[in-house]
Structure 1
Amino acid sequence: MIFLEYAELVLFVICAFTVFYLLIYAIAATGNRTDKYSESRIKHRFAILIPAYKDDEYILYAVRSFLQQEYPIDCFDIIVISDHLDSETNLQLSQYPIILLQARFKKSSKMKSIKAAMSQLQEGQYDIVLIMNADNVVEKNFLDELNNTYASGSNAIQAHRIYQERPDSVSVLNAVADEINNSILRAGHVNLGLSASLNGSGAALDFAWLKEHINYLKDDDDEKVIESLLLRERIYVEYLNKTHVQVLKNGGRKKFYTQRGNWIRAQYYSLFVNIGNLPGAILSGNFDYADRILQWLIFPRTILLGLIFLFGILSIFLSWTACIKWWGLLFTLLLTMAIATPNYLVDNKFNKAMKAIPFMAIGMIFNILLGRKK
């Protein structure tokens, strides 16, 4: 019995640490911070990489979005990596002033497409590499904003990804989850002087740096591996809260489950690879890197919510003191997520989507336990 009490207390301490970690950054994200940089006279050259795996429905919108940029057309190249796109889509793409690389990988991945594209580019050919998704569209001043930020000395930049259209509960929950991440992992961090987290699209990196480090990346790696390489070298990741990347695709419920499961697996893989560097990062004063390792150490929000709710229910049958602390922690977590959710998302669709959370959380947990991957 004593052992169970100690185990419950240890789990509560871990959950409480996670909740208050999230709360600190959620509150920090509410602070005002300008992310506008002075207009740069220099127009740096962009390599815009758009891996497109079976994204026939959206890729043309993404390409047209960049062709409408106010940025000088001779200062950027749109490089589409066509992986399993239809021949008709490839024919349409070939009519645009872009670089079209065609591939049919047996085991496709975004990183494999990026590596294939980077292998075709020469050192010194570009200044900035911009990594996008095939379902992303941007505003006309997007490249100008990135160029001004890069010219100020930022070698790694993350734009603000948003879900413009939210036709159903899944897309609403995707939008809310993304904005909570934007608040806590990006805006909250930069407001406290720490690096933002990369999210896989709308990420601009120094071209020479990525060219030098591309061979360190495996085919199934994601943005967390790029993050760890940047932070080990103390390269700060800037976040442009007012520079938007709009997401067009609504992946559906199955994609929602699979995507979250993949993210959780990637988080703990990154933790496994980097945890041994935590003491050295702290002792050397590399607090950006140390913070990111701690971020990978804490429970993902969905698991955290499920654990706290479960023990809140169980504590009703144990003792009133346990009940108070678990339900108090649940209230604090819900408050944290409320603070981190922007007002524009709170509407009738939001209220309907909230009712679907318990069922989707159960479905996601089953998906993780069954170990399903893309």
Structure 2
Amino acid sequence: MTATAFWILYTYLLLATLHLLLFSIAGIFYRQERRTDSPDRRRRFAVLIPAYREDSVILATARHSVRQLYPEDLYDVIVIADSLQPETVAELRSIPVSVLEVSFDNSSKARSLNEAAGAVTRDYDAVVIIDADNLMEERFLEKANACLNTGFRVLQAHRTAKNTSTPVALLDAASEEINNHLFRKGRRALGLPSALIGSGIVMDRALYSELIPNLKTVGEDKELERMLLKKRMTTGYLDDTLVLDEKVSRSEVFQKQRTRWLGTQWQMLSETLPELPAELLLRGNIAYADKVLQMLFPPRLLLLGGSIMLTALALTGIAGPVQLFWVGLLLLQVATFAIALPRSFRTVKFLRATLQVPGLFLRMVRALLSSPGSGKTFIHTPHDDHSTTRKDNV
């Protein structure tokens, strides 16, 4: 490696690490969003559940969703049924929830949400979006309503794992919590909008009707976040409002899921990067610039895995003239993730699970190589029914 190549690569990885470290430290100082609970300011919610071939999990999710500790006449659960079996649809209607059957040549969550826009009439004040495998805690609507009372128009709830039975699922759960610390707690502590995840999203009904029809990609959460950032709108984060989400249990599903995510990242970067000069220099949109930076930098697993490899090469004298630089970079990354990792994951079981990291790193590299262009095609990842795994928490 030439000296010039070394410094370019090292600077890029160092900036990516410092960016994460900033949010990791900031996340320590996060404070819960304000709430104002008032019986005369209770909104009527539409809970939307897009379900594409999710016969194995949608019934449990629908049954759980109608058990909110919130006035029954002030919320409706609407399942957007795409390619569900007829017997599943019939059973859904008996729960009872509303069922909106849809069919597309090329299915996507964005198309389902857009199709549901017509059902979200002025009778509703706010919309909740969850995935077909998600379980909302029973006070979800109550907490969301109280926070909307303070002026927020968009909220992101705390999505957390409902299954950690395999090493891959446990690592995926830890990754989710690190993301929550960095890009939700950390961003809010610095006065920036919370990042969206894709489910557990609460939106003002009028805003939903305005923005959802503009979604065009399979990365609907990133596209929606981009629109919100351009509108200079602040997304709040509800750390104490849980949505249980199924984590991938097998490495091959992990690769499939990450291929979709990386494809979306490539596509969003190609659309947001040209807008960066105007948003930052003309409008002073720091939040938008930060989001572009996040997409410019590598995913955490590639960052950590790549740094470990380069540090090992440096110690053999191959990857650069200054060995301590690589060691220092790796230690910064370890500190960043250690701060963001919740104490509940600091166990022997988790340490054993980290033995899977090298294999997942290789899966991530394969996902990166196959990701260009995948952001335009919906890649469905299968789910299993873990509805009883953590039901005591919701």
TM bracket, shorter-chain basis: over 0.9
The aligned counterpart of 1:35 is 33
Q: Does 1:163 align with 2:150?
A: no
Q: Does 1:204 align with 2:227?
A: no
User: What are the residue-to-residue correspondences of 1:192-271 with 2, within 5 Å?
Assistant: 192-248=190-246, 250-271=248-269
The aligned counterpart of 1:274 is 272
C-alpha separation in 1, matches of 2:199 and 2:15: 29
Structure 1 residue 320, shift from structure 2 partner = 7.9
Paired residue type of 1:84: S
Paired residue type of 1:354: T
C-alpha separation in 2, matches of 1:120 and 1:223: 20
Partner SS for 2:41? coil
- Identify the range of structure 1 (136-145 vs 275-284) with the bigger mean alpha-carbon deviation: 275-284
Structure 1 residue 104, shift from structure 2 partner = 3.5
Paired residue type of 1:64: R
- Taking structure 1 as reference, are residues 251 and 118 closer, same or farther at Cα in structure 2, changes over 3 Å only? farther
Paired residue type of 1:331: L
The aligned counterpart of 1:286 is 285
2:151 corresponds to which of 145, 150, 153 = 153
- Identify the range of structure 1 (203-212 vs 13-22) with the bigger mean alpha-carbon deviation: 203-212
- Taking structure 1 as reference, are residues 179 and 319 closer, same or farther at Cα in structure 2, changes over 3 Å only? closer
- Taking structure 1 as reference, are residues 154 and 319 closer, same or farther at Cα in structure 2, changes over 3 Å only? closer
C-alpha separation in 2, matches of 1:254 and 1:70: 38
C-alpha separation in 2, matches of 1:157 and 1:267: 22
C-alpha separation in 2, matches of 1:91 and 1:189: 43
Alpha-carbon contact 2:27-2:189 (below 8 Å) kept: yes
The aligned counterpart of 1:25 is 23
Q: How many residues align?
A: 371
- Identify the range of structure 1 (312-321 vs 154-163) with the bigger mean alpha-carbon deviation: 312-321
- Identify the range of structure 1 (316-325 vs 231-240) with the bigger mean alpha-carbon deviation: 316-325
Alpha-carbon contact 1:137-1:248 (below 8 Å) kept: no
User: What are the residue-to-residue correspondences of 1:1-374 with 2, within 5 Å?
Assistant: 4-40=2-38, 41-122=40-121, 124-248=122-246, 250-283=248-281, 284-316=283-315, 317-318=317-318, 321-371=321-371, 374=379
Unaligned stretches of 5+ residues in structure 2: 380-394
Structure 1 residue 250, shift from structure 2 partner = 4.0
Structure 1 residue 261, shift from structure 2 partner = 1.9
- Taking structure 1 as reference, are residues 110 and 368 closer, same or farther at Cα in structure 2, changes over 3 Å only? same
Paired residue type of 1:346: R
C-alpha separation in 2, matches of 1:196 and 1:222: 16
Alpha-carbon contact 2:217-2:223 (below 8 Å) kept: no
Alpha-carbon contact 1:157-1:240 (below 8 Å) kept: yes
- Identify the range of structure 1 (334-343 vs 194-203) with the bigger mean alpha-carbon deviation: 334-343
Paired residue type of 2:54: D
Paired residue type of 2:338: A
Paired residue type of 2:362: I
Paired residue type of 1:312: T
Alpha-carbon deviations, 1:147-186, whole Å to 9, x = none?
A: 1111111011000001032100111011011011100010
Structure 1 residue 306, shift from structure 2 partner = 2.7
Alpha-carbon deviations, 1:28-87, whole Å to 9, x = none?
A: 111251335121331111111101122222212222222111111111111101122222
C-alpha separation in 2, matches of 1:315 and 1:120: 59
Query: If the length of structure 1 is used for normalisation, what is the TM-score?
Result: 0.94
Paired residue type of 1:176: A
C-alpha separation in 2, matches of 1:90 and 1:55: 11
Alpha-carbon contact 1:35-1:242 (below 8 Å) kept: no
Paired residue type of 1:117: A
Paired residue type of 1:288: A
Structure 1 residue 347, shift from structure 2 partner = 2.1
C-alpha separation in 1, matches of 2:188 and 2:356: 32
Structure 1 residue 313, shift from structure 2 partner = 2.2
Query: If the length of structure 2 is used for normalisation, what is the TM-score?
Result: 0.89
- Identify the range of structure 1 (98-107 vs 11-20) with the bigger mean alpha-carbon deviation: 98-107
- Percent identity of equivalent pairs: 35
Structure 1 residue 285, shift from structure 2 partner = 2.1
- Two-structure CA RMSD over aligned residues (Å): 1.8
Paired residue type of 2:314: S
- Taking structure 1 as reference, are residues 349 and 112 closer, same or farther at Cα in structure 2, changes over 3 Å only? farther
